[in-house]
Structure 1
Amino acid sequence: MSPAKSLPAAIAAVVLFAPVSARAEGDFFGWIRGDWYLEVGVTGLVAPNFEGGKKYLLGAEPIISLGKAGGDTRFSSRNDNISLGLYDNGNFRAGLNGKLLLRRDSDTEGLEGLDPVRWGGEVGGFAEFYPLEWLRVRGEVRQGFRAHHGVVADFAADAFYDVTPEVRISGGPRMSFASASYFDAYYGVNAAESVATGLAEYKPGGGLKSVGVGGAVTWKVTDPITASLFGEYSRLTGPAADSSLVRQNGSKDQFTIGISTSYRFDFKL
């Protein structure tokens, strides 16, 4: 089995068996009871006008995270998608997660003549652990629906350091894999689209989508309120980089900068 297939399978197995392990320690309702948190917020960012694009636009994304509160302050990143923690022992956390996907219109500059991609989402699981006190490693595996029917796997490692009790700096590498169905939805060009756009026909396979690095400065404004300034760079590779859409109308180099703010609600069940 290739690394692109074995890594997502390993993460998925951890996510599936972690909740079972938690339930084995007691009944389900016993697991539900306790301290929980809900973090909500918004991110404003400047990013490419489409995945693989070379023009940049101002946009916004939601921040949503729900889980059982652990004993230590949890590290979180803007790369973390909507998450529901099902198991947490302090050094290891796993659960369900999802991602909202907005519609990609065909009237966007660089996409004229291509079929639109419908709005949809991705659902799956995540697992994260702390091999060192100052390092978090996280993986997500998600199945797409409506917008695409492929599988996406994202991996990230973030080192973090508290400059003061309120200010933290963090950063590290990122890597993303995807299946052929995902690439076909966002990077494929069929015969009709080729005639309409002048792009070369392209039928992608699956594989490594991108590698990159990101960093952030996070400020704990008050106990429940957090603000962040961040920057990300990714380099499209494999089926994404080989697409005629990227080669003729886009760029392999993708930059994102932005600010975010979130509010954390603590409650008991």
Structure 2
Amino acid sequence: MNEVEIAIFGLVYCVFLGVFMNRLRLIALLSASVAVSSSPAFADGLFSGNWYVTLGGAGISAPTFEGSKNRKLFFQPIISVGRGGAPRFSSRNDNPSFAIYNTDVLRAGVVGKFVPSRDAGTDDALRGLSEVKWGGELGGFADVYVTDWMRARAEVRQGIRAHDGLVADIAVDAFTDIAPDLRVSAGPRMTFATSGYTSAYYGVDAAESAASGLSQYNPDGGVTSYGAGGAITWNATDKITMSAFTEYKRLAGPAADSSLVQERGSKNQLMFGVSASYKFGVSFN
């Protein structure tokens, strides 16, 4: 196997492992990784050299909650840290991440996501359902640069406080420059989740059914959505980047079958928005 094939195999294997492995084993693995990375020798090697940081934000129009037929406007931060001379292709789907391993073909590291709370105040369709607390998701990511015009990315994240499931996002983007400072990109997306996630966001127990009028529903894990997204990105300067983007996804499996979606929501989810970010370099000797 060449380097690209090895990287792709590793990407697929990481997703499979993250979704299906025992949660205690995953926690033990992350704990071991933290123990190794905290050693002085490892830290000196890890943080030496040139790094880049990208900070910014996006204004987005999207469904009020995943599965809703109503819409809202909200802000999403852009945070990314990586090693090397300059950032490579990235997508608005990328959650805040920190790259530990970085080569021409493979970039991998730690990723996190903030998860807002969800209750009847979010959307009237949620009346009678229990609140989902705010929390986060923490895990790992891998980018595979298949060619100089295509990138595949996988994120596997464990829910913290908001839910106790595992979520895996997979995206493939093809990109090309139609002008020196103007790039277009597009590709497919897919999301997997375990029952710990789907129960929190799509499940309806007996008490909730009585309070809301929705049919009882106890979801399993599986593919929760699939779709495609695209973006136009303008490098206004060597440090400032602006983008317009859109994404459509269709809820599937345990998400699409939920009584919340069937009776009060929609399987079709459309999002669009604009973003701006600023990148700068940091050097550690």
Task: Summarize the Cα distance change of 1:113–1:225 in structure 2 as closer, same or farther, 3 Å threshold.
Answer: same
Q: Which residue of 1 aligns with 2:210?
A: 195
CA-CA distance at 1:74 after TM superposition: 0.1
Q: Provide TM-score, normalisation by structure 2.
A: 0.86
Counterpart of 1:78 in structure 2 is 92
How far does residue 73 in structure 1 lie from its aligned partner after superposition? Answer: 4.7
TM superposition shift of 1:28: 3.8
Matching residue's letter, 2:114:
L
**Structure 1 segments of 4+ aligned residues over 2 angstroms from their partners:** 9-13, 15-20
8 A contact 1:216–1:228 mirrored in 2 = yes
Deviations 1:215-246 (A, max 9, x none): 00000011111000000000000000000000
Residues of 1 paired with 2:124 and 2:180: CA distance? 45
Are 1:36 and 2:32 counterparts?
Answer: no
For residues 76 and 11 of structure 1, do their structure 2 counterparts lie closer, same or farther at Cα, with a shift above 3 Å needed?
A: farther
Map 1:59-70 → 2, pairs under 5 A: 59-70=74-85
Mapped to 2, the partners of 1:164 and 1:221 lie a distance apart of 12
Aligned to 2:189: 174
Alignment of 1:39-188 (within 5 A): 39-70=54-85, 73-107=87-121, 108-188=123-203
In the alignment, the residues of structure 2 paired with residue 262 and residue 187 of structure 1 have an alpha-carbon distance, to the nearest angstrom, of: 34
Match of 2:243?
228
Rounded Cα–Cα distance in structure 2 between residues aligned with 1:27 and 1:146? 31
1: CA distance between counterparts of 2:43 and 2:126? Answer: 49
**Structure 2 regions of 5+ residues with no counterpart?**
1-11, 22-28
Q: 1:115-165: per-residue Cα shift (whole Å, max 9, x none)? A: 111000000000011111100001000000100000000000000001112
Output the amino acid matched with 1:90.
D
Q: Which amino acid aligns with 2:170?
A: F
Q: Which runs of 5+ in 1 are unaligned?
A: none
The 8 Å contact of residues 18 and 94 in structure 1, kept in 2 or not, is answered as no
1:27-77 per-residue CA deviation (whole Å, 9 max, x = no partner) reads 54123111111111111010001110000111111111112125x650000
Is 1:8 the counterpart of 2:25 in the alignment?
Answer: no
Letter in 2 for 1:112: R
Matched to 1:111, the amino acid is L
Alpha-carbon distance between aligned partners in 1 of 2:73 and 2:162, rounded to the nearest angstrom: 22
Relative distance call for 1:159 and 1:19 in structure 2 (3 A) is farther
- Structure 1 Cα separation of the partners of residues 279 and 185 of structure 2: 20
Q: Secondary structure at the match of 1:124?
A: strand
**Residue-pair matches, total:** 261
Aligned to 2:8: none
Cα pair 2:68 2:261 within 8 Å, conserved: yes
Q: Which of the two has greater helix per residue?
A: 2
